[in-house]
Structures are given as structure tokens and as C-alpha cells.
């Protein structure tokens, strides 16, 4: 009498474990896809930021020294796109610093905004910087959630993550240049 | 952009989350985006064309009060149909941990999902009880927003991770002139209190304590008290000398609230706590009414430490009466505060707040993948999807 019951109980337990593992694998898969998307988004917003920065520098709305600084940093950031992630993050931080130095003073930004081109470019640059900040936060959020899940014993023992490399957060300085800060909303 | 918004609370019941969703939807539409809102509705016939009925709301105790939400298999089916037919570029759920439409929508959808946290709670029951369920749904959110620092802290403590702070907005244009409220005498100086009469944190007791000295200095003052609660009981407890000055209006409609604000000389916000944002002040400033408020941190922030409105020491009736008298007897200062308020309120106008929301949408929709139905591994989903 006991054997069939034990067998049934065993099957039930195995089925429950299987269900748990499959749903955890599903969660993990979804997080990996979310990270792919957020990384793509971060990439494209970084590219956008460096191209707007180049345009700002080329437009002549900044003084020549600032323009040169920004051109140099933006160019370095664009050429580092295909390099290792860490190096790229570093060049992007340098671009943040260059923009921060060039647009530190709200008065300079106001001066740049006096021409119609400058006004549009300043808006575009502020928008691009804010989007970099947002997509980096969202990306790191996804990475943290994923790493937390991948630390679980069930994930490690059953190799639920497959061969997907452990994602890492994107660390860089993305502070909005103080001159572009309006105190309204995210800017 | 095609945007789907989910409001978990009944559309027919006034509330903070509901008006947030409605204002956001209207502002997005003015920007030329296509918006569809899914919300529970008592009376589906009354809904505007852009609101889709998510099911009949039922009252459930949640988060210390009673919430009108909807759930069940039938609702799940509606959510899935709405997601399938909507072909949204981004799906934005509000109060994702509230039991109801938002959580169901998170389960049923896949793709660019954004969530906004509204309330702040010391402990979230749903996350401690249904941790696995909620956590799994939260993991789907590509972008997370909190409307206040307190709401953000709640999210960080219970769900982990981070959120972008985008405050509530006010549709400043809705507070444009719309006539005076009958019942407020235009020839007498007047001050207004808004809020539940019997909720101690709204601070009516502080105001009542100050009225004797205010009316002594401004003898023909009319005190308008608008908000739900037992007016007769409150009146009986008041000092006999001030009873003649007080008019109770009961609960006001949104439009009458604007009218009341525009009819009075001063809006007094004697709140003693529980305010994390101060939307009441912003509404008054949008209506062009000078404000006198207690010095809660949220109020100080909105009023720029007194530059955009008067302030008095919290729960200090003597200080309140001093400040109120000086404002009621100084029309020039009131006019100055009103115009400072009008300027200050632009920062909270939905027209500018929506920029930040759109920035979040853009950050999560770069790949151009639309929102799709999520059927993987979900038995309930499959059953309900038929």
C-alpha cells in the first residue's frame, strides 16, 4: 500500500521542483533579454550624446578652448565604441567631465542660447544627457536584479543561466553639466 | 507613440492615482500620442472614449484603507485582449504592487514596461506575502518611476533596485478662471480650509484654535471649510464666538474646488503630517490663490521656504493666527504671493512634467519592439487567453 503512495509523492515533488526550475529559468531568460535591450538603449543614447556634443563644439556657440575640449572628448568617446566596455565607459566619463567644464556656468549656457542654433543644441544636449542617465540607471537595475537571481543556489546548481556571461553594471560619471541644470524635473 | 496606461483603482472614484493617470493621459494626447487607459469602472457607459473598462471594481482592504480594484479570470481576459489589440509601444502601469489590474497587466505583458510607484508604506503586505509572484512581475519593468522621495524609499526597501523621481503634475490650465462659488461672500475677507474635517493630520484643529484671535483682528472674516466629515459635530465643538464666521460646504467636486480656491482671499493648509508631496498647495497656487501653510518639509520645498507662500510653525495656532492676520490685512503682500505662486507652479505643470515621462519612455523603447502578450509558463494566462 505504501509504495504507490511514495511513488506518487515522489513524482509530485519532482514535478513541483521542475515547475519551479522552469519558471526560474523563464525569469532569468527574461532578465537577460531585458539587459540586452537596456544595453542597446544605453549604447544608442551614448552615441546620441557624443554626436550632439560634436555638433555643439562645431557650431561655434562655445568659446574655442571649450569647443576643442569637447571635440577631443566626444571624438575619443565615438572611437571607443568598438573597444572594451571598461575603456569605453572611461572615455564617456571623460566626455561628461569635458561637457561639465565647458558648460559649468549657467551664464555661458544662456549666452549660447542667444542664437537660435545654440538654443536648439542646448536643449538637445540636455535631453541627450538626461537620457543617458536614465538608460544607465535602468540598465544597472536590470543587471543587479539578474545578478541577484543568479546567486541563488538553484540557478547555480542546475546551471539555469546556461552559457550567458554574468552581466556587469555600467559604471560611468553621467552628471548633467551644472549649466544645463534648470532645477525643473530631471534637468 | 502608442501608449497604454493601467490604473488599478476605480475610474469613478476620485483619488490621487486616478487623477494622476487621467492628467497624464490628457497631456500625452495633447502631445499627439495615442493613449489608451485601462481601469476598473463602476459604470462603463460614462467612460471617455480613451478609457477601456477593465472590470467591475470590488472594495478590498489594502494598505490601511479600502481600495476599489478588480481582478479574476474575466478581468485577466480583458487585460490580455486590451494588450493584444492595443499594439502599444510602451505599457505604463501605475501602483504595480496594488492587487488588481496593474499586477495582472504586468503578468500578461512583455516588452517595454514602465511602472510608477505612488504610495509610501512602511510595509508592503503583498511583497512579504506573495514575494515570488510580485518579484517576478517587478522584474519585467524596464523603467521605474517614483512620484516622491518617500515612494522611492518604499520601492527600494521592498523591491530593491532604484527608481527615477518624477513628481506629480498639475494641469495648470484646468485652474483657469471659472467663476466664483456661490456661498462665498465677495464683499467679506475669506479664508479656505480643504480636506477631511475629521482627519487630524489635515489640521482643522490647529486652524480652529487660531480662529478666535484671527476673527478678533478681522471681524467680518468668512471661514470656508470644504471637505467630507460630520460638519454639525465639528461646529458644536467650536468656540461659540467663531461659529458665526464658519461656513461648511461639505465635499466639493473638482470644479467647485477650483471655484472655491478662486473665490477666497487666502488658502490655509494647516496639515500636521502625512504629506509627502503637497499637491494641495500646488492646486491652490495654480488657481492663483495665496497660500499659508505649515512648515512641513514637503510644503517648505513646494513654497521655496516661504518665497512662494506664507509659512507658520507646524501645529502652532498662535503662529498661524499671527501670519494669517498679517496676510489678510495686507492685499499687496497677498498679490505678491499669488504671482510668486503662479510662477512657482510652472515647474509642476504637467506640460513640463510630461517631458520627463517621455524621456523614460524613450529610454526603454529604443529597440522599437512593441508590447506583446506574455504566455510563457503561465497556466492561468493560457486559460484566460482563450
Q: How far is B142 from chain A (nearest CA, A)?
A: 6
CB-nearest partner of A22 from B142, B160, B377: B377
Same CATH fold assignment for domains B2-169+349-385 and B174-347: yes
- Statement: residue B261 has pLDDT above 90: yes
How far is residue A52's CA from residue A106's CA, in Å, rounded to a whole number? 19
Q: pTM of the entire structure?
A: 0.82
- Residues of A with CB below 8 A from B142's CB? 34, 37-38, 138, 142
How far is residue B87's CA from residue B66's CA, in Å, rounded to a whole number? 33
DSSP annotation of B370 = P
Does B379 contact A at CB distance below 8 Å?
no
CB-nearest partner of A131 from B136, B167, B362: B362
Contact A185 B347 (CB under 8 A): yes
Q: What angle do CA B107, B9, A185 make, to 5 degrees?
A: 85
pLDDT in tens, B43-91: 888 899 999 999 888 888 776 667 788 888 889 999 999 999 999 999 9
pLDDT in tens, B157-185: 777 778 899 988 888 888 876 778 888 88
Closest CA to B266 of B326, B220, B217, B210: B326
Average pLDDT estimate for B1-12: 94
Phi, psi angles (nearest 5°) of residue B35: -120, 135
Return the residue of B nearest to A143 by Cα: B161
How far is residue B9's CA from residue B15's CA, in Å, rounded to a whole number? 8
Query: What are the distances in angstroms from CA B55 to CA B8, B62, B218, B350?
Result: 10, 18, 53, 28
In this prediction, residue B385 has a pLDDT band, given cuts at 50, 70 and 90, of very low
- Statement: residue B379 has pLDDT above 60: no
Residue B93 CB burial class (10 angstroms; 0-12, 13-18, ≥19) = buried
Contact B366 A141 (CB under 8 A): no
Chain B from 308 to 327: CB within 8 A of any A CB: none
CATH architecture of the domain with range B2-169+349-385: 3-Layer(aba) Sandwich (3.40)
- Mean pLDDT across chain B: 87
Does B145 contact A at CB distance below 8 Å?
no
- The ipTM value here is 0.88
Contact B359 A34 (CB under 8 A): no
CB-nearest partner of B142 from A23, A138, A140: A138
In this prediction, residue B129 has a pLDDT band, given cuts at 50, 70 and 90, of low
Chain B from 339 to 378: CB within 8 A of any A CB: 347, 352-353, 355-356, 359-360, 362-364, 366-367, 369, 376-377
How far is residue B200's CA from residue B206's CA, in Å, rounded to a whole number? 9
Residue A157 CB burial class (10 angstroms; 0-12, 13-18, ≥19) = exposed
Question: Could you write out the three-class secondary structure of B279-290?
Answer: HHHHHHHHCCCC
Q: How far is B89 from chain A (nearest CA, A)?
A: 14
Asked if B362 and A131 count as a contact pair (C-beta separation under 8 A), the reply is: yes
- Residue B349 CA, distance from chain mean position: 13
pLDDT in tens, B179-215: 788 888 888 999 999 988 888 888 999 999 999 999 9
pLDDT at position B312? 95
Helices vs. strands in chain B: H and E counts, helices first? 16, 17
Task: Return per-residue pLDDT of chain A as tens, 187 residues.
Answer: 688 899 999 999 999 999 888 888 888 998 999 999 999 999 999 999 999 999 999 998 888 999 999 999 999 998 888 888 889 999 999 999 999 999 988 888 888 899 999 999 999 999 999 999 999 999 999 999 999 899 988 888 988 888 888 999 999 999 999 888 876 677 7
Query: What are the distances in angstroms from CA B337 to CA A50, B51, B148, B309, B340?
Result: 43, 38, 25, 6, 5
pLDDT at position B298? 84
- Statement: residue B130 has pLDDT above 80: no
pLDDT in tens, B367-376: 888 999 887 6
pLDDT at position A83? 84
Asked if A118 and A59 count as a contact pair (C-beta separation under 8 A), the reply is: yes
Does B272 contact A at CB distance below 8 Å?
no
- Statement: residue B386 has pLDDT above 50: no
Q: Alpha helix locations (H) across chain B?
A: 16-30, 73-86, 101-108, 125-129, 131-138, 149-158, 204-217, 231-236, 240-243, 254-263, 279-286, 297-302, 317-328, 331-344, 350-364, 379-385
Q: Where are the domains of chain B?
A: 2-169+349-385, 174-347
Contact B162 A141 (CB under 8 A): yes
Residue B335: strand, helix, or coil? helix
pLDDT in tens, B78-122: 999 999 999 999 999 999 888 889 989 998 999 999 999 987 765
How is chain A classified by DSSP, letter by letter? -HHHHHHHHHHHHHHHHHHHHHHHHHHHHHHHHHHHHHHHHHHHHHHHHHHHHHHHHHHT-S-HHHHHHHHHHHHHHHHGGGS-HHHHHHHHHHHHHHHHHHT--HHHHHHHTTSHHHHHHHHHHHHHHHHHHHHHHHHHHHHHHHHHHHTSHHHHHTTTTTTPPPP-------PPPGGG--SSTT-
Does A138 contact B at CB distance below 8 Å?
yes
Give me B217's grid cell. 483682528
Does B186 contact A at CB distance below 8 Å?
no
Q: How far is B1 from chain A (nearest CA, A)?
A: 17
CATH topology for B174-347 is Rossmann fold (3.40.50)
pLDDT in tens, B283-308: 999 999 999 999 998 899 889 899 99
pLDDT in tens, B346-367: 888 998 899 999 999 999 998 8
Q: 10 Å Cβ neighbour count for B211?
A: 23
How far is residue B293's CA from residue B327's CA, in Å, rounded to a whole number? 12
Contact A26 B166 (CB under 8 A): no
Contact A34 B139 (CB under 8 A): yes
Q: 10 Å Cβ neighbour count for A132?
A: 26
Amino acid at each position: 500500500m505504501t509504495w504507490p503512495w511514495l511513488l506518487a509523492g515522489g513524482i509530485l515533488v519532482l514535478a513541483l521542483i521542475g515547475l519551479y526550475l522552469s519558471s526560474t529559468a523563464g525569469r532569468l531568460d527574461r532578465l537577460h533579454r531585458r539587459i540586452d535591450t537596456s544595453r542597446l538603449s544605453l549604447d544608442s543614447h551614448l552615441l546620441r550624446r557624443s554626436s550632439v556634443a560634436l555638433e555643439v563644439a562645431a557650431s561655434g556657440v562655445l568659446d574655442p578652448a571649450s569647443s576643442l575640449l569637447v571635440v577631443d572628448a566626444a571624438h575619443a568617446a565615438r572611437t571607443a565604441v568598438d573597444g572594451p566596455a571598461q575603456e569605453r565607459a572611461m572615455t564617456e566619463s571623460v566626455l561628461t567631465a569635458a561637457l561639465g567644464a565647458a558648460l559649468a556656468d549657467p551664464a555661458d549656457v544662456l549666452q549660447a542660447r542667444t542664437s537660435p542654433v545654440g538654443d536648439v543644441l542646448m536643449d538637445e544636449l540636455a535631453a541627450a544627457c538626461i537620457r543617458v542617465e536614465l538608460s544607465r540607471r535602468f540598465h544597472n537595475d536590470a543587471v543587479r536584479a539578474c545578478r541577484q537571481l543568479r546567486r541563488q543556489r538553484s540557478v547555480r546548481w542546475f546551471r539555469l543561466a546556461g552559457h550567458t556571461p554574468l552581466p556587469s553594471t555600467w559604471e560611468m560619471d553621467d552628471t548633467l553639466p551644472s549649466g544645463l541644470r534648470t532645477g525643473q524635473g530631471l534637468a | 507613440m502608442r501608449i497604454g496606461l493601467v490604473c488599478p483603482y476605480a475610474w469613478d472614484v476620485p483619488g490621487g492615482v486616478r487623477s494622476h493617470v487621467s492628467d497624464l493621459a490628457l497631456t500625452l494626447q495633447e502631445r499627439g500620442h495615442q493613449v489608451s487607459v485601462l481601469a476598473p469602472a463602476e459604470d462603463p457607459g460614462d467612460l471617455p472614449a480613451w478609457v477601456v473598462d477593465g472590470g467591475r471594481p470590488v472594495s478590498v482592504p489594502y494598505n490601511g484603507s479600502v481600495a476599489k480594484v478588480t481582478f479574476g479570470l474575466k478581468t485577466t481576459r480583458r487585460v490580455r485582449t486590451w494588450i493584444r489589440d492595443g499594439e502599444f509601444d510602451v505599457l505604463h502601469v501605475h501602483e504595480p504592487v496594488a492587487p488588481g489590474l496593474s499586477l495582472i497587466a504586468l503578468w500578461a505583458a512583455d516588452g517595454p514596461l514602465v511602472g510608477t510607484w505612488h504610495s509610501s508604506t512602511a510595509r508592503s503586505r503583498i511583497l512579504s506575502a506573495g514575494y515570488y509572484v510580485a518579484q517576478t512581475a517587478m522584474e519585467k519593468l524596464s523603467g521605474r518611476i517614483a512620484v516622491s522621495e518617500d515612494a522611492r524609499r518604499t520601492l527600494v526597501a521592498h523591491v530593491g533596485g532604484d527608481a527615477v523621481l518624477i513628481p506629480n503634475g498639475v494641469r495648470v490650465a484646468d485652474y483657469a478662471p471659472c467663476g466664483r462659488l456661490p456661498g462665498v461672500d465677495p464683499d467679506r475677507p475669506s479664508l479656505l480650509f480643504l480636506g477631511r474635517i475629521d482627519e487630524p493630520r489635515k489640521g482643522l484643529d490647529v486652524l480652529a484654535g487660531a480662529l478666535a484671535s484671527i476673527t478678533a483682528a478681522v471681524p467680518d472674516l468668512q471661514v470656508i471649510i470644504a471637505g467630507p466629515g460630520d460638519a454639525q459635530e465639528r461646529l458644536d465643538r467650536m468656540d461659540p464666538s467663531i461659529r458665526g464666521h464658519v461656513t461648511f460646504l461639505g465635499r466639493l467636486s473638482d470644479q467647485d474646488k477650483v471655484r472655491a480656491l478662486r473665490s477666497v482671499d487666502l488658502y490655509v493648509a494647516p496639515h500636521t503630517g502625512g504629506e509627502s508631496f503637497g499637491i494641495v498647495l500646488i492646486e491652490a497656487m495654480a488657481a492663483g490663490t495665496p497660500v499659508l501653510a505649515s512648515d512641513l518639509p514637503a510644503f517648505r520645498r513646494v513654497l521655496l521656504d516661504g518665497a512662494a507662500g506664507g509659512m507658520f510653525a507646524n501645529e502652532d495656532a498662535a503662529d498661524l493666527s499671527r501670519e494669517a492676520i498679517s496676510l489678510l490685512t495686507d492685499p499687496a503682500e497677498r498679490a505678491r504671493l499669488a504671482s510668486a505662486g503662479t510662477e512657482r507652479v510652472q515647474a509642476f505643470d504637467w506640460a513640463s512634467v510630461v517631458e520627463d515621462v517621455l524621456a523614460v519612455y524613450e529610454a526603454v523603447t529604443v529597440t522599437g519592439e512593441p508590447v506583446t502578450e506574455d504566455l510563457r509558463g503561465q497556466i492561468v494566462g493560457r486559460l484566460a487567453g482563450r
